[in-house]
Each structure stands twice: as C-alpha cells, then as structure tokens.
Amino acid sequence: MKFIRCLLILLIFICSTLVQASSNSQENHVYESFVDDSGCGFDYDYNSNVRLNWIHSNDSTLAAKQRAENLGAENCSTWINGAPTSNSNVDGITKLVETDLQVTLLWNHALGNDGKNSSELTFSGLQLSTSILPLENLSESLNMRWYITVDYDSIGDVIVHDLVKHYGWTSSFYHEEGNITNWTHEVSIERLQEDGLPTSEDELWRMEVVILFVDDLNHTIYGADKIQLEAPTNVPNSTAEKFPTILIGIVVIVGLLIIVRQDQRREIGLPRLRGTLYQNNNDSWYAKVMITAGIFDVTLKGAFANEPWKMGKVPTQQLIPAETSRSFTVKMKCSGIIGDTVPTHWKVDVDELGGWVLDLNLPIND
C-alpha cells in the first residue's frame, strides 16, 4: 500500500514537470528604437529588459508607422516606457497587470512520399498563452499587444537585433480588478514565414515573444513580459508527443486502484451494528445493540443519540476482537415526540483504519 502511494506521488511530480518554459519575471523597462537603413549605431545590450526595434523608413510596417506617430518618434530616436530617453525622470513601469507569458512550439506530422502522414514531426507554429490579472480596475482604452522580434536580421547593410516582425493586439480580457482572463493565440508557420521570421528548427532561437499592456489614450505601458525562444534540443516523436497523456493515464489508473483498495479495506474492516429499542413496563426505554467486528479489532469509545433522545451511561473502552461480536444494553430517555426510529451514533477506533462515527437507526420494538 505504501509503495502504491509513493508511486502515485512520483508520477504526479513527473507530470507536473512536463510544462513549457514560462517567463521568470516581468520586465521593468521597455526600450523602443526607430531604426532607419543606417542602423543608427544602437547598443543592443539592455540586460533582461524588453527591447523593440522598429523599422522607420519606406519599408515600415503599419504597426511601426502607428507606433511612431503615437509617440511622435523620429528616425534613430529611442524611448523608455513610452517616454523619450532624453527625459532623465523616466521611472520603471507602473505595473497594473500581472501576467505569466508562455510559448509552446507546435508540431505536425510531415507528409511522406505517398501523401500520408509520416511519424516524423515538423515545426508548425507557435502557441502564445498567458493569464491576465488586473491589479486594479483598468481603463477600457488599455489593451494587450504581442510582438515577435528576430535577432541577426538586416536593414540595408546593418545587422539588427530585436527587430519587430509580427504584431497583434486585443482588448478582449477582463478589465475589472481581480478577474482573471486566460488568453491563448496561435501563430501558424505560414504567418511566420509571411512576416519574414525564421521557421527552421535550428533558427527558432532568433525569435523572442513580447507582450505589452498599453493605454491607447496616453500610450503609457502598464505591464510587459517576454520569452526568448530556444532551438529544440531534439524534435519530439509520436511517442514523446503522447508521453504526458500516457503518464496522466497511469496516474489516474493508480489513483483508482488506491481508491478501490481503500473502499475494500473499509468494507471488510469496519464493524457492523444492529440494534432495537425496547420499552419496559414502567415506561422506561433501553436499547440492545450488537457490534460485530470486521477483520480488525474494534474499541468502542462512546455513543450519543439525536434529540429529543438521550443515552444513559455508554460502555467505553470496550474491545471487540476481530471477527467477533459483543452486545451492549444502554438506557434511553425521550423528552419529546417519539418517532418510528431513533438515530444513534457510535464512536469506534478500528485498527489500521483509525477513528470512525457509525450511524445506527434503532427501530422501536412493538
């Protein structure tokens, strides 16, 4: 029995480790740069903070143009948390939203030469997910934006990192304090390729996913999180893909076996009670109760009855050895209306099963 319990705990622990990596902490600063064909000579070492580089030229995306217009940004300008870097009074982000960004690599079966799915799995896209917890009531103008940036890309002859290639936004989440929204979004490999992002398995590490919570009215950032992707050390196969499901199935089966086993032990281990309530010629009442022990020794610890009935002195510390029976007589008194049965409750200690309170409805002998 102890071995099965240890196995169950071990399997639950293993299953709990089969989760995708998530961001360790939310960021304090968001650095944004608007880069032209010269590359602007920026230093890209900003420790663990979020960095977004926007192309600011004729090749700018609509998102880059809108962000530059909202901030009033010019070529080669830099911004921290939505304010110019020339402002020496820029503080860290005032966090109004708690998040936990996770990114999962998606895989599909590759097509074989016969046009059927093979056992080989190929990268098919990204799944972004996060829980969104407002720390106070949020303005309806606050929305969440997600970006996918790429390292070692080029603008003209210049190599640029953290270049924004993919962008999306949503305001479909709870804005009331304490209401959690679980948000999920998939980006297909076709969309990644269309946006010029790397999709070969050995280049996934070049991508980073960023989410920001931005107020459309004042363009202030109220939350940020990011995850840098890593190239998979090995591509999952069909068995590995099903491994978490198999483990969960094993845990469920072992858990059911434990429950069934415990039910069986209780069924054959707990004592059985029988009894009847009698009335003497002088109108006094007494109960005769028989306790039959199961496969374990039983010790009677006490008993009581529901109102309006009360019990007299109940024998206590009475041992009933396993698979034997003992009878007890207990005086009873009623201070109200007498029904058809009298609910009573018997406290017992059962070896290996612990303490129990067993119910016994005493019928009245006619």
Could you tell me which residues are beta bridge partners of residue 78? 33
Question: Cα-Cα-Cα-Cα dihedral of 28, 34, 37, 39, to 10°?
Answer: -30
3-state DSSP: the chain helix, strand, coil percent, rounded to 5? Answer: 20, 45, 40
**pLDDT for the residue 197:** 93
Q: What pLDDT score was predicted for residue 128?
A: 95
Q: DSSP letter for 364, please.
A: B
pTM over 0.85: no
pLDDT digits (tens, 9 = 90+) for 101-156: 999 999 887 766 666 666 678 899 999 999 999 999 999 999 999 999 999 888 77
SS (H, E, C) 152-195: CEEECCEEECCEEEEEEEECCCCCCCCCCEEEEEEEEHHHHHHC
22-229 and 270-363: identical CATH topology: yes
Rounded-to-integer distance, Cα 61 and Cα 30, Å: 20
pLDDT at 243: 59
Write out the two tokens for 335.
């201070």
Q: 266 to each of 313, 355, 356, how far by Cα in Å? A: 29, 12, 11
Per-residue model confidence (pLDDT) at position 49 = 79
What does the domain layout of the chain look like in residue ranges? 22-229, 270-363
pLDDT at 2: 46
Q: Which superfamily does 270-363 belong to? A: Immunoglobulins (2.60.40.10)
pLDDT in tens for each of the 366 residues of the chain? Answer: 444 455 545 554 444 444 344 444 455 788 888 888 777 876 655 555 788 988 888 778 888 888 888 888 888 888 888 888 876 566 778 899 999 999 999 988 776 666 666 667 889 999 999 999 999 999 999 999 999 999 988 877 778 888 999 999 999 999 999 999 999 999 999 999 999 999 998 899 999 999 999 998 888 899 999 999 986 655 555 445 555 667 777 878 877 777 777 777 778 888 999 999 998 877 789 999 999 998 899 999 889 999 889 988 888 888 999 999 999 899 988 888 888 889 999 899 999 888 888 999 999 887
Closest to 305 in 3D by CA, of 365, 366, 350, 364: 364
CATH 2.60.40.10 fits 22-229, yes or no: yes
pLDDT at site 230: 83
Given a contact cutoff of 8 angstroms between Cβ atoms, the answer to whether 229 and 237 are in contact is: no
Single-letter residue type at 80: I
